[in-house]
Structure 1
Amino acid sequence: MLHSKTRWQSPAADSERISELARSLSISPLLSSLLVQRGMDTAELAQVFMDGGAEDRHDPFLLKGMAEAVPRIQKALQEEEHILVYGDYDADGVSSTALMIYLLRHLGASFDIYIPHRSNEGYGLHNHALDWAVQQGVSLVITVDTGISAYHQIAYATELGIDVIVTDHHEPPELLPEAYALINPKLPDCPYPFKGLAGVGVAYKLAEALLGSEVPEEWCEIAAIGTVADLMPLLGENRSLVRRGLSSMRNSAFPGIRALLSVGGITMNTVSAVNIAFGMAPRINASGRLDHAGRAVTLLTTEDAAEAEQFAGELDLLNKERQLVVERIVTEATAKLEERISRSGLPDIIVLADQGWNVGVVGIVASKLLERYYRPVVILDIHPETGMCKGSARSIPGLDIYAALSSCAGLMDHFGGHPAAAGMSLPQGKLEAFDAALNSYAASILTPEDFVAVTAADGEVSIADLTLQAALELERLAPFGMANPLPRFILRGAVVKETRKMGQEGKHLKLVLQQDKLTIEAVAFGKGPLAELLPDGTVVDVLAELSINEWNGSRKPQLMLQDLAVPKAQLFDLRGAADAVKQAAHIQELLRTYSGSRLGQSAAVFQNSWTTPLRDLKGMSLWVYDEAGGISAVHQPEGTRDEEGLSLLCVLDMPESPEQLEALFTAFPETENIALLHSIRDGRDRLQVPTRDHFKSLYQWIATIAASPTPEHEVLLRLSRQSALGVRMVSRMLDVFDELDFIERSGGTITFVPQPAAKSLSTSEHFVRLGKTAEMEQYFMEGSRSELQEFMLSHRLGAS
């Protein structure tokens, strides 16, 4: 049994509305259901969503402040004023700055750009940058993707004689800066109908206001990058901008974009919003995280192909370095957290800090720990000289992290953010109080249900629904991103027909799933080790996205696995493992990694004669079989709770008797998974289901060998040689003869009884027990996995 990482939720379907929409637009019920769930439940709304329409584009002068900004910029152009474009260091800020460069070049303006350094300066408009601007002769500053909160800095600019036009999209504070013009669709009195523009989207509207219909179509490529990278909703005008940008990008004239697509291994003529999110944006962001974002701006604005290739290569290397830095910090942070968990349990809010944790990537680290532990996470870098801590937080839906930080605002020098993510700085001396205050606040807000991750699915389907035509149809919903995610489907009761690892070092997983004689391939990136838990014949439930696999000119539907569950108890057949203890620990770790947050206890059972060290079985309770046919615990790990249940039972030695097998299942009646790790006995050393012919032959040989008292060990050896039966088998048969008085045992010798009283073999308890033990051993030694699973299930039900 494998638990899914998250709880899957599928919306209730309005079958009547879905059927009506499918009929009116001549589309499949699958596509129709997705449109209805996304709120496009009429033919008109659905048509616009799939194909676009004029209503997706709005007059830029509906943006409050635009009417003041445009003539001020035109005045600056006429009087040849020097303009400063002030941006931000993330992908949206980089894209916004690049777009303004293209606009000002087009207008023939005199301009400079300024982007603060993430680590050295931090976010926002800075007075020292304004001082530098004065020295450069700047009289007009245009901010992009920043500035809406820069009340004091803009007042300082005014003192310096600089006008500031703010273009931003972040939430406006109560105290707005007194800028020459504020352009932000989220301003409370802004009549602009679409509030979801990215910073680059606002910059694009400024370009529209200045150029009208003459805005080059290829500028949508820049707008698409920032919009997708900043996780803006791909609805309304954003959807139109990104769709147009992707269309242009497939034949891009920008050397920088072509080079960026190339280093990311992205096929140019099929580039998608997903490629931007996972291929282009991380490389652009790496520039601002580990170096300076100016390098990414140069890449997006260069007209030289060779320079573009150079900068794209540098960003690619920076991104690889960023990945290594993140991996190192995640490893260090996880070790710190696990140590804390071992002492005092998992906190409601995880707060971790250390020196050398690059402040540019701590947000990514927080996201990765949140994914693993499903708790709000705060990761901070401690400056080695000043002791100042700077960090980022990521939260779960049940906790507004901005509200949590607000509850202990007095402990921080600075903080900001929104319900899901935030940033903060505070002295190292206040870290302990900060941690305690956050967890105290969380304890009053969070419930056990909040710690169970939920994933929204788009419906339950069968393999019959997942055709190539269906996959092609889903493309009509693209571009996919925030507020319009890639559709995810639940497929239940599929049988694994084939499992294999693929990629370097078997990092990835490929399955062939079958349902009602139909099959489909499924791929899961980064889940190669999961193959060991999914032998052929396993019945699984999966959460997956439908895609198209193109190879050698052929196209077929393919699932991209997002989550997986095995709803029934599993038997892992590892009989004869070279190192049973190591394998047990390995299976335990696999289950911990791939079975969500609901993993219970683990146990290992073995015979009293076990000599191999068991120190590798950390966190397992250890049990031994006893001679009386029972089973007893010899070690229980600290913190074990009975209510957790048993997720894994590792059988290091098989039971020696039916009584021991029954005791095993009595002790562990609800085991989710059983791993058989016992050794395989040599054929002659195995018991056989006894027959009358076995006993008849043996009786005749005993008459010859033990006519007079003979040492029992000698009888055993001679009978074993003559009968081709193992010594264990012969010994058990002698127990039967002894019970029936066909032989006499005395002082270590055996004597044949020539004329015993007639008795049936079936009256012997040893004979019946030998039959049951031999049958059990046959299953444990020779049975197939499915035979063993059925045998053990029947005995477990009998025991319970």
Structure 2
Amino acid sequence: MLFSKYKWQVQRPEMQTASMLAKELSVSPFVAALMAGRGIRDSEEGRQFLNGSLEHSHDPYLMQGMAEAVPRIRKALEDQEHILIYGDYDADGVSSTSLMIHLMRHLGASYDIYIPHRSNEGYGLHNHALDWAHQQGVSLIITVDTGISAVDQIAYANQLGIDVIVTDHHEPPEQLPEAYALINPKIPTCPYPFKGLAGVGVAYKLAQALLGDPPKEWLEIVAIGTIADLMPLIGENRILVKHGIDSMRQTRFVGIRSLLEVGGVEVDKVNAVNIAFSMAPRINASGRLDHAGRAVTLLTTESPEDADRLAWELDGLNKERQQVVELIVQEALGMIGERYGAGELPPVIVVAGEGWNVGVVGIVASKILERFYRPVVVLGIDPETGNCKGSARSIPGLDIYEALCACRDSMDHFGGHPSAAGMSLHRDQLAAFEQGLHEFAGQVLREEHFVPVCEADAECTISDVTIEVIEQLDQLGPFGMANAVPKIIIREAMVKEAKKIGKEGKHLKLRLQQNQEQLDAISFGMGHLADILPEGTKVDVLGELSINEWNGSRKTQLMLQDISAPYRQVFDYRGIQQPVEEIKRWRTELEPHLRCPAHRSAIVYTRESSPEIKSQLYEMCLWVYDRNAGVLPDNDAAEEHGADDISVLFVLDVPETAEQLQTLLTVFQSVPNIFLVHPTRMPREKLLIPSRDQFKQLYILLAGMAASPVSENEVIARLRQKTALSSRMLAKVLDVFEELVFIERSKGLVTFIPKPEKKPLDASRHFRELSELAEMEQHLLHADTKQLTHWMMSRSKGVS
């Protein structure tokens, strides 16, 4: 049984609405059903969703503070004041700053930019930067993607005689700064109808207010920041991003073109997914490992040579970032394991490490959240000052910004969104900070919040999934937050082939079949699942549809995101080398799919097995074969946890008798997954299921060779020559004949007894045991995988 990582929920659209949309919008029933499932209720809303133009964007002057900001900027232009654009170091901040540079150039302004260094300065406005601006003669600062929480800093700017216009989209605090103008749609008193703009979206609305109709290509930069900052691609964001992507396919920005080419993206086919997974990480890498100014230069340069150089530099930084992230993730996981072991995790995981690069702690938090599915805070500690800077990532059940507000006294600074936030504090406050988060989360989170949910748009069969259907789905793009790529579920598909692909076999490729229709499925980072998806496995799969184009051929393809096999399974790994090492690897890699923590994993073996079992697998439940009891617990874990809640059973050795096997299957009758990793035997040791004719032949042969005492070894050797039976089989035949008093054995000699009392073979206990043992070994040691699996399933159900 493979457990799915997520709880699957299928959208059930109102079919009457779907029929109406299909008819009035001239879209396929499938696309109409997806639109209805995403909350579109009438044809006008549907038309705007499919074909929304910039005319549908909102008047920028609806945004509070815009009426004050625009005249102040125009006055600065008229008076030739020196303006400072103050941005942030993430991809949204880089995009916002870049957009404002294009705006300042367009307006002919005298300007400078300032982006704080993530590691050396941290997020937000800083007084030392204001001092520098004052020295440069700056009289107006325009913040982008930052500033809404800078109460003290803006008060300091006011003292210096510098006006500050804040453009931001982060959650506003209770006390707002006394800026010249505050432009943020999330301010409670702001009447702007769309609250989901990115920082670059707010900056674009300022450009709209100043220019009326900014150059269309600026929307390319808006698209980058909006997608990178995970803003919802609905409403006005959808319009801005859609037009931005359309423009990007013929981009005149040399930096954008170079960045796409370095990422292996065809410029004329770029989409939101490419921006999210190719462009955004490289832009973010600049601010994480170096200074975000390098990415700003890339997005604003007019030199193709500089663009190529900078794009490759960002690519190198991104590769370095990936390595740094992996190292910190492993350290953090080690800390979590050491601190909590196999026990219950707290409602919020907080980890902090000295020397951790604070530029990547947000990515680390995301990866740990994905592993444990609970809110995570990761902090880097400066070993000299003790100052900590960190990032938080949360799950839908907990607004992390609210949680931080509840323990604000332990932090120097914080800010963010419901799902992501940043903070700084001293290491002396870590314990209080963590305790405060636990107390808040403990009141909010319930058990159901810790089960990740994945929403699917439809259930299909493979025959439903055609190239035409996939092409129709493009009408719903661009895809991103709040408008995800459509996900489908296919149930009871048969695995025809499963193999590991890519470097080091990290990825998985499946060929699935229903009736006569086949579909390829790809899953990145799930190559280890090939170990537990043998041919013939029936699976349910969830994923996103795509078209695979190769050498002029186009085929449908499923990008697999989750999989389950909702029935008991037996996995055939007989004769595998180093089974103890493989068991450790399987448990680590397959835990999310087999749900096999140490206390739910059992191993059964003989007492003669290698001592490394107890030394290396001591945390697991160890069981040993016993001639009288069948199987017995062999360590404290097995005694404590018993067999009822075991998820995976590893059979390390073949049972010595059929009774032991039946006892094993009875004790572990509810276990959903059985791995057979026992060694195989050489054919010369094979037992055959005995027949009466076979025993009659052996009886006659014995009568001819053991009328007088003969060495048992010689008897067995001569019988092997005449019958080709194994020595092991013949020794057990002699046990039967001795029990029936057909022969006598004494001091290694065998003597045939003439005219013995007639007895039926099945009167012999040894004969019955040999029959059962030979049948058991025939399947456990010599049957093919399909026969073995069927036999094990039958025995598990009590059918022999």
Cα-to-partner distance string for 1:373-415 (whole Å, 9 max, x where unaligned): 1222121111111112222222222233333333333333333
Q: What is the deviation of 1:159?
A: 2.5
Q: What is the deviation of 1:629?
A: 6.7
Q: What is the deviation of 1:356?
A: 0.9
C-alpha contact (below 8 Å) 1:629/1:657 kept by paired residues: no
**What secondary structure, in the 3-state scheme, does the structure 1 residue paired with 2:717 have?**
helix
Task: Find out whether 1:352 has 2:356 as its counterpart.
Answer: no
Once residues 147 and 54 of structure 1 are traced to their aligned partners in structure 2, the CA distance between those partners, rounded to angstroms, is 28
Deviates more, 1:331-340 or 1:644-653: 644-653
Q: What is the deviation of 1:504?
A: 1.4
Match of 1:731 in 2: 731
Distance 1:573 1:15, change over 3 A: same
Q: What is the deviation of 1:642?
A: 4.4
C-alpha contact (below 8 Å) 2:332/2:351 kept by paired residues: yes
**What secondary structure, in the 3-state scheme, does the structure 2 residue paired with 1:798 have?**
coil
Cα-to-partner distance string for 1:107-140 (whole Å, 9 max, x where unaligned): 1111111111112222222222222112212222
Runs (5+) with no aligned partner, structure 1: none
Once residues 599 and 517 of structure 2 are traced to their aligned partners in structure 1, the CA distance between those partners, rounded to angstroms, is 35
C-alpha contact (below 8 Å) 1:393/1:421 kept by paired residues: yes
Once residues 143 and 624 of structure 1 are traced to their aligned partners in structure 2, the CA distance between those partners, rounded to angstroms, is 69
Cα-to-partner distance string for 1:612-642 (whole Å, 9 max, x where unaligned): 6323334322222223371112224389534
**What secondary structure, in the 3-state scheme, does the structure 2 residue paired with 1:637 have?**
helix
Distance 1:602 1:791, change over 3 A: same
Distance 1:389 1:514, change over 3 A: same
Distance 1:548 1:599, change over 3 A: farther
Task: Find out whether 1:59 has 2:59 as its counterpart.
Answer: yes
Match of 1:451 in 2: 450
Task: Find out whether 1:466 has 2:460 as its counterpart.
Answer: no
Matches within 5 A, 1:94-109: 94-109=94-109
**What secondary structure, in the 3-state scheme, does the structure 2 residue paired with 1:338 have?**
helix
Cα-to-partner distance string for 1:656-690 (whole Å, 9 max, x where unaligned): 32101101112211121111112221212111111
Once residues 586 and 736 of structure 1 are traced to their aligned partners in structure 2, the CA distance between those partners, rounded to angstroms, is 44
Match of 1:226 in 2: 225
C-alpha contact (below 8 Å) 1:496/1:540 kept by paired residues: yes
Once residues 344 and 497 of structure 1 are traced to their aligned partners in structure 2, the CA distance between those partners, rounded to angstroms, is 39
Distance 1:640 1:481, change over 3 A: farther
Match of 1:245 in 2: 244
C-alpha contact (below 8 Å) 1:201/1:227 kept by paired residues: yes
Match of 2:301 in 1: 302
Match of 1:793 in 2: 793
**What secondary structure, in the 3-state scheme, does the structure 1 residue paired with 2:616 have?**
coil
Once residues 115 and 557 of structure 2 are traced to their aligned partners in structure 1, the CA distance between those partners, rounded to angstroms, is 43
Task: Find out whether 1:136 has 2:157 as its counterpart.
Answer: no
Cα-to-partner distance string for 1:518-563 (whole Å, 9 max, x where unaligned): 1110000111121111111111111101111111112121100111
Once residues 533 and 682 of structure 1 are traced to their aligned partners in structure 2, the CA distance between those partners, rounded to angstroms, is 26
Once residues 567 and 682 of structure 1 are traced to their aligned partners in structure 2, the CA distance between those partners, rounded to angstroms, is 36
Distance 1:262 1:300, change over 3 A: same
**What secondary structure, in the 3-state scheme, does the structure 2 residue paired with 1:741 have?**
coil
Match of 1:49 in 2: 49
Matches within 5 A, 1:248-647: 248-342=247-341, 345-595=344-594, 601-611=600-610, 613-614=612-613, 615-628=615-628, 630-637=630-637, 641-642=641-642, 645-647=645-647
Cα-to-partner distance string for 1:224-283 (whole Å, 9 max, x where unaligned): 111111111111211111111111111111111011111111111111111111111111
**What secondary structure, in the 3-state scheme, does the structure 2 residue paired with 1:578 have?**
coil
- The amino acid of 1:406's aligned partner reads C
- The amino acid of 1:501's aligned partner reads K
**What secondary structure, in the 3-state scheme, does the structure 2 residue paired with 1:646 have?**
coil
Once residues 588 and 179 of structure 2 are traced to their aligned partners in structure 1, the CA distance between those partners, rounded to angstroms, is 57
Deviates more, 1:299-308 or 1:81-90: 81-90
Once residues 643 and 19 of structure 2 are traced to their aligned partners in structure 1, the CA distance between those partners, rounded to angstroms, is 47
Once residues 203 and 420 of structure 1 are traced to their aligned partners in structure 2, the CA distance between those partners, rounded to angstroms, is 22
Match of 2:11 in 1: 11
Q: What is the deviation of 1:589?
A: 2.6
Distance 1:640 1:471, change over 3 A: farther
Once residues 130 and 732 of structure 2 are traced to their aligned partners in structure 1, the CA distance between those partners, rounded to angstroms, is 95
Distance 1:723 1:378, change over 3 A: same
Once residues 346 and 578 of structure 1 are traced to their aligned partners in structure 2, the CA distance between those partners, rounded to angstroms, is 35
C-alpha contact (below 8 Å) 2:353/2:380 kept by paired residues: yes
Once residues 276 and 250 of structure 2 are traced to their aligned partners in structure 1, the CA distance between those partners, rounded to angstroms, is 19
Once residues 495 and 53 of structure 2 are traced to their aligned partners in structure 1, the CA distance between those partners, rounded to angstroms, is 44
- The amino acid of 2:782's aligned partner reads E
TM-score by length of 2: 0.96
Q: What is the deviation of 1:416?
A: 2.9
Distance 1:564 1:249, change over 3 A: same
TM-score by length of 1: 0.96
Once residues 377 and 433 of structure 2 are traced to their aligned partners in structure 1, the CA distance between those partners, rounded to angstroms, is 11
Once residues 227 and 237 of structure 1 are traced to their aligned partners in structure 2, the CA distance between those partners, rounded to angstroms, is 11
Match of 1:757 in 2: 757
Calculate percent identity across the aligned residue pairs.
59
Runs (5+) with no aligned partner, structure 2: none
**What secondary structure, in the 3-state scheme, does the structure 2 residue paired with 1:491 have?**
strand
Cα-to-partner distance string for 1:430-470 (whole Å, 9 max, x where unaligned): 32333334334433433322222222222222212221111
| Alignment RMSD | 2.2
C-alpha contact (below 8 Å) 2:497/2:510 kept by paired residues: yes
**What secondary structure, in the 3-state scheme, does the structure 1 residue paired with 2:152 have?**
helix
Cα-to-partner distance string for 1:75-127 (whole Å, 9 max, x where unaligned): 22222221111111111111111111111111111111111111222222222
Task: Find out whether 1:30 has 2:21 as its counterpart.
Answer: no
Distance 1:42 1:596, change over 3 A: farther
**What secondary structure, in the 3-state scheme, does the structure 1 residue paired with 2:634 have?**
strand
Match of 2:178 in 1: 178
Distance 1:292 1:724, change over 3 A: same
Q: What is the deviation of 1:799?
A: 8.3
C-alpha contact (below 8 Å) 2:643/2:667 kept by paired residues: no
Cα-to-partner distance string for 1:773-793 (whole Å, 9 max, x where unaligned): 212211112212121111111
Cα-to-partner distance string for 1:196-227 (whole Å, 9 max, x where unaligned): 211111211222222223x2111111111111
Cα-to-partner distance string for 1:551-601 (whole Å, 9 max, x where unaligned): 111212110011111211221111111222223323323321544688861
Deviates more, 1:243-252 or 1:705-714: 705-714
Q: What is the deviation of 1:20?
A: 3.5
Once residues 602 and 59 of structure 1 are traced to their aligned partners in structure 2, the CA distance between those partners, rounded to angstroms, is 61
Matches within 5 A, 1:81-230: 81-213=81-213, 215-230=214-229
**What secondary structure, in the 3-state scheme, does the structure 1 residue paired with 2:509 have?**
strand
- The amino acid of 2:427's aligned partner reads Q
Match of 1:781 in 2: 781
Deviates more, 1:141-150 or 1:226-235: 141-150
Deviates more, 1:56-65 or 1:347-356: 56-65
C-alpha contact (below 8 Å) 1:662/1:799 kept by paired residues: no
Deviates more, 1:406-415 or 1:6-15: 406-415
Distance 1:512 1:437, change over 3 A: same
C-alpha contact (below 8 Å) 1:620/1:636 kept by paired residues: no
- The amino acid of 1:744's aligned partner reads E
**What secondary structure, in the 3-state scheme, does the structure 2 residue paired with 1:776 have?**
helix
Deviates more, 1:612-621 or 1:99-108: 612-621
Match of 1:766 in 2: 766
Once residues 741 and 10 of structure 2 are traced to their aligned partners in structure 1, the CA distance between those partners, rounded to angstroms, is 70
Q: What is the deviation of 1:318?
A: 1.2
C-alpha contact (below 8 Å) 1:381/1:389 kept by paired residues: yes
C-alpha contact (below 8 Å) 2:570/2:792 kept by paired residues: no
Match of 2:78 in 1: 78
Distance 1:476 1:14, change over 3 A: same
**What secondary structure, in the 3-state scheme, does the structure 1 residue paired with 2:797 have?**
helix
